[in-house]
Amino acid sequence: MTDMASPDSNVRKDGFAKRHGRGLTGLLLVAAPVILLGWLIIYPIFNAVARTLFVNSDAGASFSLDTYQRFFTDSYSLANLWLTLWVTVVCAALLMAICLPLALYLRFAKSRIAAVVQGLALFPMFVPSVILAYALIRTIGPNGGVDLVLNAIGLPKINSPYLTPWGPVIGLVWDNIPLTTLMLVAGLGGVSDNAVEAARDAGARHVALLRHIILPQIGNAMLVVLSFTVLSIFSAFTLPYVLGPASPEMMGPFMQRTFSQVQDTRMAVTQAVITFVICAGFGAFYVRSIAKNREARQ
Amino acid sequence: MTSQISRRGFLKTAAVSSATLAMPRIALAADGFVNVYTGSDSNISDFWTNVILPGFRNVNGDAKVRVVDAGDGAGLRAIADRAMAALGTSNDPQVDVFEAYTPDQTTGSIEAGLWINFAAADMEGWDKVNPAAKQTDFDLPYRGSQVLLAYDATRVSPEDAPKTWDEMTAWIHANPGQFVYNRPDKGGSGGNFVRRAIHEANGRDPQKFTLDNYSEAYANDTLPGAWGLLKALAPSLYEAGAYTSGNTQSIQLLAQGVVTMTPVWSDQVLQALSMGVLPETTGLVQLQDLALCGGFSRITVPTNATHKDVAMQLANYVLSEEVQSKIITELGGFPGVSWDYVDTALREKYKDVIPASIPTFPGGDWDAAINDGWYRNVAPGISRG
């Protein structure tokens, strides 16, 4: 950057040197985040994997898979993993069902109300999850706001989701609406008005329009959205901790408890590695779809 | 060339700014403050800041004391690890007093000599400490609190409130969905309820459990009976076996009229009553066959603390009649010293409410065994529809 601006660079006629200099600046600029990434993320990952695989004893380090074996033969741990997967799948499905219509509306509506709806859809982004958790207890919790209203008009109370797996599901869906909607709207930005209008002129109905014109074009965006929500829900902590049942636990609270309460750090790291491997699978989806997207553009 | 200079300039600026970032740390270590780290709730850190420290100024007017909130036990453990790492080096551990900490939470710290031995330290207050509350010579129990049952007195009359474990069990089964306790690792009210079940399953003898007698075999011998008792309760609990995630959440369910009875910490429920969180029609009852366990919060002082002398002065002051009486009146807690060392008028006033002894349950390895055992054996319960 500075090379271009500096008067000196005019003297340097050599294209290679110039390119070389710019390359160096670029490398220096990315060096900081890359070093941080390596130090704070990549290194701990390998460190964690190594700590679960090698046991230090008096005889020296030896290879062992015992914690993994313990995890996968322990029905309690497996129940926690299944619950986490279940919550993730249910949340992802609900998020798609809620956010896709919302995003379609925001993309195609031109009215003023759309701006209000957009504002409302982004609102959850600014509410910290601890606040959200307690607010949900006060509203849909037992004898909460909803029950009071229902009671006032003579209807029976709701079957409160507080302390059941549905508690964190409701909280997590609410919490993830803004990001999901934003990414879907961005994906829908690639669908041209012309294509939609042409299809309409040809007599396509709403469903046909969605199936044949819109969905094929935003498939990539949906994949990105899914991998993002899966990653954030899988690692959720606060909402499952406050709203969820005591057992089975989601992996976030389970890891924390194993680490600080049971004080079995090796087991906690093993749980983290297993969680990480599953998340990495979804991460690979994301990376692949981005790469495919680039190829398609070139 | 300019680019080179600007790059160098950039590096220089970066170096300077990172040095500035590091500065407060260095300044903090040398600012002469005595650091008290607490892992307790805000009512306790308020008590230190507003009651103990102003009073301490009369004892030592020059000392500057700062109360730091470490968040919870895990936060304190991290600070203790730092002190442990600094042991034997010239580094300042930057901590002088731990509030609500026990030496066994840092593995090997007693053997390494991290903690001051209060018994050997020729400390005037040590002999006043309630012998029943003492655990090791390295921790100083200074305030206690017991777990009681709180109930909605508009639905249960004080005469019908359960006074033994069996009466309580019968009440829970007769009123399904009206009782809740929190997960044992998330708060002491549920934690000590679970420990009371362990006492119940082992002949109601608290002496059977000590800090040193933990072994996996002994735990396998004594704990499953309690899991059986608690599992049998589960179908009649709130939502047929739901457990709140903390002391406060249990009080919240009681306040919202969702449940009728729940175990609570004495100091927390007294505060909730005085703040109006719980209505005045809230009743309190203690089991008479064997009280629900209580616990003592303990002070520890690392041997490598920079202001060790002030820290010991402070610990001694906390055991004075002045502070111990205020623990009763302002905190709703129990004194850490024997009742003989508390203001006579107070002793008279509270003699009916406060039992002569509070059964306690040792921490250490028992904690992990009980908490994890509960999660694995009791929490899953029967599947809830």
| Contact across the interface for A242 and B245, Cβ inside 8 Å | yes
CATH fold label, B12-18+22-143+296-350: D-Maltodextrin-Binding Protein; domain 2 (3.40.190)
A37 dihedral zone (left: phi>0; alpha: psi -120 to 50; beta):
alpha
Whole-Å CA distances, B155 to A266, A281, B238, B262:
49, 54, 16, 13
Q: What is the pLDDT along chain B (385 residues), one digit of tens a residue?
A: 344 445 455 445 555 444 444 444 444 445 789 999 998 877 788 899 999 999 999 988 888 999 999 877 778 988 999 999 999 888 889 999 999 998 988 888 999 999 999 999 888 889 999 887 888 899 999 998 889 899 999 999 988 999 999 999 999 999 999 999 999 988 889 999 999 999 999 999 888 998 888 999 999 999 999 999 999 999 999 988 899 988 888 998 999 899 999 999 888 887 788 788 899 899 988 888 888 988 889 999 999 999 999 999 999 999 999 999 888 888 878 888 888 888 888 877 766 556 566 788 888 788 889 988 999 999 886 543 3
Tell me the sheet residues that pair with B283: B151
Q: Judge if A123 and A248 occupy the same domain.
A: yes
| Contact across the interface for B245 and A76, Cβ inside 8 Å | no
A180 token code pair:
């999901």
- Coil, helix or strand at residue B179: strand
- CA proximity to B39, closest of B85, B86, B97: B97
DSSP state of B182: B
Domain ranges (residues) in chain B:
12-18+22-143+296-350, 145-295+362-377
CB pairs under 8 A between A and B: 73
- Which residues on A lie below 8 Å from B214 (Cβ)? none
- Which residues on A lie below 8 Å from B244 (Cβ)? 163
A72 token code pair:
């996968």
Range of the domain at A50: 2-63
* CA dist., res. A257 & res. A268, Å (int): 8
**Looking at A12, A28, A63, which one is the last position of a domain?**
A63
Q: How far is CA B32 from the centre of its chain?
A: 28
- CA proximity to B241, closest of B348, B59, B377, B65: B377
A110 token code pair:
């031109």
Q: Judge if A87 and A196 occupy the same domain.
A: yes
Cβ-nearest to A163 among B239, B371, B372 = B239
Residue B215: HSE in the Cβ half-sphere, 13 Å Cα cutoff: 4
B237 token code pair:
């609990």
Number of structural domains in chain A? 2
Contact A163, B242 (CB under 8 A): yes
Asked if A141 has any chain B CB less than 8 Å from its own CB, the reply is yes
* CA dist., res. B186 & res. B191, Å (int): 8
Q: Judge if A274 and A241 occupy the same domain.
A: yes
Mean confidence (pLDDT) of chain A = 86
Q: Has residue A17 got a pLDDT over 80?
A: no
- Coil, helix or strand at residue B244: strand
Cβ-nearest to B256 among A142, A164, A263 = A142
Q: Judge if A58 and A74 occupy the same domain.
A: no
Q: Judge if A9 and A113 occupy the same domain.
A: no
Contact B165, B288 (CB under 8 A): no
- CA proximity to B263, closest of B367, B160, B150: B150
Q: Judge if A177 and A113 occupy the same domain.
A: yes
* CA dist., res. A201 & res. A85, Å (int): 44
The pLDDT value recorded for residue A178 is 93
Note whether B12-18+22-143+296-350 and B145-295+362-377 share their fold: yes
Cβ-nearest to B376 among A7, A76, A261 = A76
B136 dihedral zone (left: phi>0; alpha: psi -120 to 50; beta):
beta
Q: Judge if A195 and A224 occupy the same domain.
A: yes
User: Which residue has 């469903």 as its token pair?
Assistant: A207
Least confident of A92-101, A194-203, A241-250, B355-364: B355-364
- CA proximity to B52, closest of B99, B91, B12: B99
Cβ-nearest to A262 among B239, B252, B368 = B368
Cβ-nearest to B245 among A21, A241, A263 = A241
Q: Judge if A25 and A151 occupy the same domain.
A: no
Q: Judge if A120 and A196 occupy the same domain.
A: yes
- Position A271 confidence tier, pLDDT thresholds 50, 70, 90: very high
Beta strand pairing status for B64-69 and A60-63?
unpaired
User: What DSSP element (H or E) covers A294?
Assistant: helix A265-297
Q: Has residue A11 got a pLDDT over 50?
A: no
Residue B350: HSE in the Cβ half-sphere, 13 Å Cα cutoff: 19
User: Which residue has 């985040």 as its token pair?
Assistant: A33
| Contact across the interface for A247 and B244, Cβ inside 8 Å | no
- Which residues on A lie below 8 Å from B152 (Cβ)? none
- CA proximity to A187, closest of A140, A138, A158, A225: A225
**Looking at A63, A94, A113, which one is the last position of a domain?**
A63
Helices (DSSP H) in chain B: which residue ranges?
2-29, 42-47, 53-59, 73-86, 165-174, 188-201, 216-233, 247-255, 266-275, 308-318, 321-329, 344-350, 365-377
Q: CATH class for domain B145-295+362-377? A: alpha beta
| Contact across the interface for A8 and B376, Cβ inside 8 Å | no
- CA proximity to A68, closest of A269, A250, A236, A259: A269
B276 dihedral zone (left: phi>0; alpha: psi -120 to 50; beta):
left
Taking any CB pair shorter than 8 Å as contact, residues of chain B touching chain A are 1-3, 6-7, 73-74, 77, 183, 185, 239, 242-245, 249, 252-253, 256-258, 367-368, 371-372, 375-376, 379-381, 384
Interface of A with B in 4-23 (CB under 8 A): 6-9, 21
- Position A218 confidence tier, pLDDT thresholds 50, 70, 90: confident
**Looking at A14, A41, A63, which one is the last position of a domain?**
A63
Whole-Å CA distances, B364 to A116, A296, B85, B291:
56, 60, 21, 21
* CA dist., res. A266 & res. A268, Å (int): 5
- Coil, helix or strand at residue B143: strand
Q: How far is CA B16 from the centre of its chain?
A: 43
| Contact across the interface for B6 and A261, Cβ inside 8 Å | no
